[in-house]
Structure 1
Amino acid sequence: MTPDLGSMGALAVYLVLAGLVFVESGLLVGFLLPGDTVLFGAGLLAGDEGRLSLPVLLAVVLAAAVAGDAVGYASGRRLGRPWLERRAARGHGDGRGLARAEAFFARWGWWSVVVARWIPWVRTFTPILAGAARMPYPRFLAANVVGALSWGGLLLVLGYAAAGDPRIRTAALVVAAASVTGSVVVGAVMRLRRR
């Protein structure tokens, strides 16, 4: 369920946004959260009512996203491959999926961290996999910052711009609806394939 940002004070919006982005980026329960929608909504509020500052929103989202991914990376590094193998075994996998994921990550690691920000559900698991695969932290951090800035920054700015232009608002809502629908369909298909 998406929080009603319009009914909150500015400080509450900043805190809710920081908490939501942090949890979605760094904790395994975060894949259930509507991060994209909330970021766009916060941008709309900043542009519509002017009670939120776009630069403050950008700083809050960047800090929370980078910190969340850092926690995910640290968790993966600490728990390591044995933990991932146990998780794969519980999902009735044969281990080949994990090997394919590691091979993909070894080749596209930096880009996968950046691109994962844009894919609901995937953004929660990528930092954990990066840590478990022992991706060098400076490389991970650079990708983490670029991904957080491009994802959070663009969604906030799109929301801000949409507040003043109904055409942008309509186009953004269509893109958001397609993104949410796509992530639900992909999740359902993956679940069915696992069964």
Structure 2
Amino acid sequence: MSTAQLPLAVGSFDPLISAGPALVWTVVLTFVFLECAVILGLFLPGDSMLITAGIVMASNAAGEAQVWALSLGAMVAAIVGNQTGYVIGKRTGHRLVARKNGRYINTRNLQRVAELLHKHGFLAVLVARWIPWVRTLCPTVAGAAGMDHRKFTIASTIGAIIWAPVLLLIGYYAGSFLERVPWLMPGVIGTLVVGLILGTIFGVRHYRQEMRKPAEEFELEPTPSGAADAEN
């Protein structure tokens, strides 16, 4: 790339970079909440979105302060999302709705998450944060299975602290390194943003296809703590 082409390439991403704080905050908080709260989150590119947001923040003059503040905001969004998912599951009761031949919302996946909670409880909620489809199903299944709310809250909060901030900061410091190679940064940001947009479009499309499939009820067994609470 010639010197004359470089300013043009960088300039083509100026609107994205200048809109950074407001746009990135909106996207990150919305995606994180949805991925931790409702079934739609199963189909959203959450991990790659956090890394992309961190890289975009590295292009902003106040990037370091912004990315640390955003890390805190994303952590809160994840905690609130988990609590929302838990309440949804609690109100649903032991019967959850699965989809026949569904890719994610099927009885097999619900059973796998339920078994993880039965066997490992606190640790399962903690580890679930790093497994995309489990991350979304876990709060609802935990609520439906009657997992102890205090135990769930502590585990999901610790998970939120070490998930969103870590991925955002990985993206930010990777972006800071890319800033040393000016001609590379626009291409990386452009590729990641396009990938994120396409991933979201295809995700919403797959979600709609999944929800059109016939529903079937799936009944959970209460977790050991849930069964104890019921007896009391």
Q: TM-score by structure 2 length?
A: 0.62
Residue 56 of structure 1 is matched in structure 2 by 69
Residue 151 of structure 2 is matched in structure 1 by 139
Residue 205 of structure 2 is matched in structure 1 by none
Cα pair 1:105 1:130 within 8 Å, conserved: yes
**Alignment pair present for 1:19 and 2:51:** no
Residue ranges of structure 1 left out of the alignment (5+ in a row): 167-172, 181-195
Greater per-residue strand proportion: 2
Counterparts of 1:104 and 1:137 in 2: how far apart (Å)? 16
In structure 2, the CA distance between the partners of 1:99 and 1:54, relative to structure 1 (3 Å rule), is: closer
Counterparts of 1:19 and 1:99 in 2: how far apart (Å)? 28
Report the residue type matching 2:90 in the other structure.
R
Q: Tell me by how many angstroms 1:47 deviates.
A: 2.4
Instruction: Give the stretch that moved more between structures: 102-111 or 72-81.
Output: 102-111
Q: Tell me by how many angstroms 1:46 deviates.
A: 2.3
Greater per-residue helix proportion: 1
Counterparts of 2:174 and 2:75 in 1: how far apart (Å)? 21
Counterparts of 1:156 and 1:97 in 2: how far apart (Å)? 28
Cα pair 1:10 1:51 within 8 Å, conserved: no
Q: Tell me by how many angstroms 1:59 deviates.
A: 1.4
1:64-79 aligned at under 5 Å gives the runs: 64-79=77-92
Report the residue type matching 2:164 in the other structure.
G
Report the residue type matching 1:77 in the other structure.
K
Cα pair 2:90 2:143 within 8 Å, conserved: yes
Cα pair 1:43 1:160 within 8 Å, conserved: yes
Q: Tell me by how many angstroms 1:50 deviates.
A: 3.1
Report the residue type matching 1:87 in the other structure.
A
Counterparts of 1:141 and 1:91 in 2: how far apart (Å)? 32
1:147-158 aligned at under 5 Å gives the runs: 147-158=159-170
1:32 paired residue among 43, 55, 60: 43
Residue 117 of structure 2 is matched in structure 1 by 105
Cα pair 1:45 1:51 within 8 Å, conserved: no
Number of aligned positions between the proteins: 168
In structure 2, the CA distance between the partners of 1:77 and 1:38, relative to structure 1 (3 Å rule), is: same
Structure showing greater relative contact order (alpha-carbon pairs closer than 8 Å, 6 or more residues apart) = 2
Cα pair 2:55 2:174 within 8 Å, conserved: yes
Residue ranges of structure 2 left out of the alignment (5+ in a row): 1-14, 179-187, 193-198, 200-232
Cα pair 1:21 1:68 within 8 Å, conserved: yes
Report the 3-state secondary structure (helix = DSSP H, G, I; strand = E; otherwise coil) of the residue aligned with 2:173.
Answer: helix
Counterparts of 1:65 and 1:5 in 2: how far apart (Å)? 25
What is the CA deviation profile of residues 4-23 of structure 1, one whole-angstrom value per residue up to 9, with x for unaligned ones? Answer: 96473412321221111101
Counterparts of 1:11 and 1:49 in 2: how far apart (Å)? 12
Q: Tell me by how many angstroms 1:154 deviates.
A: 0.8
RMSD: 3.2
Cα pair 2:35 2:42 within 8 Å, conserved: yes
